[in-house]
Structure 1
Amino acid sequence: MARRCRLMAYLHNSEFTDPQLKAFADILDVKDTTKPKKPEELDGFALALYLSKAPKMTPKEYKSILSYLNSSGETSLSWLSYPDPEYQAMVLPPNAKQLKNYHENGKTYSCHSSHHSNSLVQFRKPNTNEAPMTGVIKAILEIPLHGFLRKFIFVAPHQPIDIHNTPYGNCPRMKATLVEVEPYKTLVVVEPKHIITHLSAWIRPSQTYPGISKRFMVVCWALSRGRK
C-alpha cells in the first residue's frame, strides 16, 4: 500500500518530457471518476429543443415536483397559472425526460423497473430532521430549471418492521434493519443530493424470527462507509 501511494504521488506531481514515459505514466495514473462534473448551462435553443423532445409529466408527477420545489424555498408557478408580470417566479415546465438511471460519484442509481438492485437506496427526506430512510426508486425525471438540468427522484419508502426481537435490535453498528417486501405506495420526491447510498438486501421467509408471520427483507446501508 505504501509503495502504491508513493507511485501515485510521483505520477500526480511529475512532468514527463519523454513521450514514451509520459504515455506509460498516463496508463498507470488512473483518473478520479468520483468528482462530479460541472453542469452545463443550456441556452435558449438547447432549452427549447430539450423540452420539445421530452414527454409531458402526469398531473400527479407535476404536482409532486411543484410542491417539493415550493416547500424547499424555490418559489415556482404552475404552467397553468395566470401570468403575473410583478410576480418574479420560475414556471415549472410541464415536460420532463424519464430516465432509467443516472450516474453520480462513479455509482449508478436506477428505477426499480430497470434494475432492482440499483434502485434500493438510503436517503434523507427533504426539509425534515428525520433519521435517514430506506426505499425503492420508482421514477427519475429530468427537467431544465434556470438553464440547468435537474433530476427529481420518486422514492417509495420501505415499511419498517419491529426489530426488538431480532439480532439486529441490539446491533446498531451492523447498519441493518428489517422492512416489508412491498414499500409504501406514497412516493417521496428527492434529488441526488438526498441519496446517501445503495442498499444490500436479503429476502427472508416468514417465521425466521418470532412474531414475523410473512416474508420480509433485511436491508443494510453499510455500503456508504460514512462517506455521505
Structure 2
Amino acid sequence: MGSYINARMVEIREQLGPALKELGVRPRTWKGDGCVVVEFLPLKSTGNFSPVAIVFDDKASTGLEEASWAHAHVYVADYRRRDVGDTGWIAIDKTGERRLAIRHEGQRMFEWIAFVLEYEGAFPYQVGAPMHLASPHVADAYATVASWHRDVRIERRIEHEMPVETLVFADKDERDIRIEYRHLWSDAHLVIDGELTERFSQHDFHYLNAVVRELADNFYADRNLWRAPR
C-alpha cells in the first residue's frame, strides 16, 4: 500500500499543510474494502480529529501503479455539538455521512479540499474529553431529569479506564440521587443515598421519565404504572 499512496501523501502534506496545522491534525492511511483511506487524526492523543477523509480506489480497482485523484472522493462524517443545559458540558452526536466528488484540478482542487477541512472543523478524539460527554444519551437523560428536578449536575469519574458520567440531584425527600451512565454499557444505574437500587436501559427514556417523576412527586409515586417491579 505504501508505494501506491506515497505520491498522494506527499501532495497532501505539502498542499494541505497549513489547513492541517490549523486544525491540529496529521494524515494517516489505512486499507479499506477496495480503497485506501487518508484520515486526519490529532497530533496528540488528547487533541481533535477531522470528520473529513480522502478515499482513493485501491490498486486492484484502478489497475494503476499509484493512487489517482481521478479515482478519489471526499468522505465527511456529520457531527453536531449541543450544549447540555447550562452545565458547561457539550454533547457530540453523529447525525450522518456524505460522499463528495472531488472538485476542480491542480491547485484549485487542494484549495477546495482545504476549504472542506476548515468548514467541517474538528472534534475531540479522546472519549470523554474535558467537558465533552462520552455518550449523547447522558445529554438526553439530563433534559429528562431537569424537567422534573432543579439543580441537576453532571459528574464524571474513571472506572476501569472508562468514563462513568452521572446525573446528580436531590429528590423530594432530599435524598442523594445518582443516575450513572457507563460508557459502552447498555444499562443505567439508579443509586439512592449510595445504594444501587435499580438498573434500566440507557435507551429507555420513557422509563427514565417515570423514575424521575416518581422521585419528584408523591402523588405519582403511588400510581406509577411504568415502574412495575422488574
User: What interval of TM-score do these two structures reach, taking the shorter chain for normalisation?
Assistant: under 0.3
TM-score, length-scaled by structure 1: 0.26
> Normalized against structure 2, the TM-score is what?
0.26
Which one has a larger percent helix, Structure 1 or Structure 2? 2
> Looking at both structures, which has the greater relative contact order when contacts are Cα pairs under 8 Å and sequence separation is at least 6?
1
More strand by share: 2
